[in-house]
Amino acid sequence: MYDVVEDRYTKVFPFTVDRPDFERFLLFLQHQGPIEEVMVGVEASGPYALTIGHFLLEHSYTVVELNPFQASQFRKAQGKKAKTDRVDARSLAAFLAVGSYKPLTLGDPLYENLRELTRFRVDLVKDRTCQVNRLKETLAIAFPELGAHMASLESPTVLTLLTNYPGPQALAEASAQAMSTCIIKDSHGRLGSAQAQAIVSAAGTTIGLLQRQQALAIKLEVLASGIISINIQLQRVEAAIEDLFRHLRYDKSDFPVGGIQSLACILAEIEDVDRFPTLKQFLSHFGWCPQTFQTG
């Protein structure tokens, strides 16, 4: 706590992320003076700032968000090399006292839910990409020939195939009829028995590392099952995003390009398009404006 009038720190203390300690912190703030004379700064560094920020906003306090990078540079400018919770608290209080910030406000629940889901979708896509890359790397060691027979190693057909027959050894031992049934069903008839026979033949003559097949088979099954699970999760999240998008005052046809998922992601971050007076300010909000860096 930093008292701007007396230019001094009054107290530094920890509290846990639960209602009793939040109430204790609220009581402490109430003893500092009227609500309109108290400003609370929270460092934008994860869920802790979000929960305490919303809690204080609901109790009508002025809350501002502090940039972690700027706060770190300010602490270093003070000559403080140590980094502890107590040092950070004092530094952030001083940083808040000398700066000018725009107070946070409680947002529209529709946009807040949309923002939460669109950001979660981005995380899921990154997770899937990571898992797909690991699957391809494992196949390159276990069964490199599979890519020559299947157009995409992350297709539902390949993923289901690998969960049922993880690795060339399991594929070579499988019956052609069972393989054909699996491939025809999962490819919706685009692939047939000839494709299944070609995969079985390639599995029998693979140059993959046979001495590692036991471990690689487990990896292939786990990775393929994980990607299928992420795909199911993505479908659920995207369906929820589409449902929220339908409640916005915008329509997909209002935009020249873009699907619902990409438009929902943009709208969730900016909320009201009309709050940007110019296109340049709109682009700058996303960091899309070119910047000039030059020396003498």
Same domain, 159 and 275: yes
Position of tokens 């899937």?
128
Same domain, 267 and 176: yes
Give me the pLDDT at residue 224, please.
95
Alpha helices in 176-296 (DSSP H): 176-186, 193-204, 213-245, 260-270, 279-285
Asked if 162 and 221 count as a contact pair (C-beta separation under 8 A), the reply is yes
Where is the domain boundary, 74, 91, 106?
106
Same domain, 31 and 81: yes
**Segments in the chain below pLDDT 50:** 4-5
> 265: which residues sit within 8 A by CB, 6+ positions away?
118, 121, 122
Same domain, 132 and 254: yes
Where is the domain boundary, 106, 138, 155?
106
CA distances from 160 to 12, 140, 181, 214, 222 (A): 56, 18, 12, 19, 11
Give me the pLDDT at residue 124, please.
97
Give me the pLDDT at residue 269, please.
85
Same domain, 218 and 78: no
Of the candidates 14, 41, 18, which has an alpha carbon nearest to the alpha carbon of residue 28? 14
Same domain, 69 and 188: no
Same domain, 90 and 118: no
**C-alpha to C-alpha distance for 233 and 131, rounded to whole angstroms:** 14
**β-pairing verdict for 8-9 and 2-3:** antiparallel
Same domain, 284 and 171: yes
Give me the pLDDT at residue 86, please.
76
Give me the pLDDT at residue 210, please.
80
**C-alpha to C-alpha distance for 34 and 61, rounded to whole angstroms:** 10
Position of tokens 């685009």?
190
The b/e string for 189-205 (b: 16+ C-beta within 10 A; e otherwise) is eebeeebbeebbebbee
- Domain extent, residue 243, equals 108-296
Same domain, 153 and 212: yes
Give me the pLDDT at residue 13, please.
78
Give me the pLDDT at residue 290, please.
66
Same domain, 101 and 122: no
How much is the pTM? Answer: 0.71
Give me the pLDDT at residue 177, please.
74
**C-alpha to C-alpha distance for 37 and 54, rounded to whole angstroms:** 19
Where is the domain boundary, 82, 106, 130?
106
**β-pairing verdict for 8-9 and 39-43:** unpaired
For 49-96, the pLDDT digits (tens) are 888 888 999 999 999 888 777 777 877 787 776 677 777 777 887 877
Same domain, 138 and 253: yes
